[in-house]
Amino acid sequence: MAGKGIDKVKTQAALDTVRESPGIAAIVAAPVVIGFGVLWWAIGFWPALLSVAVVVAVVVGLRKLRG
């Protein structure tokens, strides 16, 4: 299972990018935060949180099945 771990160089590069330009991180995170806010407004906090958890679990599960 070589290559399945977290690449330390890429991780450090991503953290350095966020430190140098937090605006980039804000731009990337904005759609997720806005989407969660709309979902929260529409169905409430706990159902929205549960929905996000289910979506994350499905995505992670599919990625593990695909390899």
Q: What is the pLDDT of residues 5-40, one digit of tens each?
A: 778 898 999 899 889 999 988 999 999 999 999 999
Q: What is the pLDDT of residue 7?
A: 84
What does the pLDDT read at residue 1? 47
Q: How far is CA 52 from CA 16, 17, 22, 58, in A?
A: 28, 26, 24, 10
List the Cα angle 9/11/12 in 5-degree steps: 65
Residue of higher predicted confidence among 7 and 67: 7
pTM: 0.67
Q: What is the pLDDT of residue 57?
A: 95
- The stretch 52-65 carries a mean pLDDT of 93
Print the SS3 string covering the chain.
CCCCCCCHHHHHHHHHHHHHCHHHHHHHHHHHHHHHHHHHHHHCHHHHHHHHHHHHHHHHHHHHHHC
pLDDT number for residue 14: 87
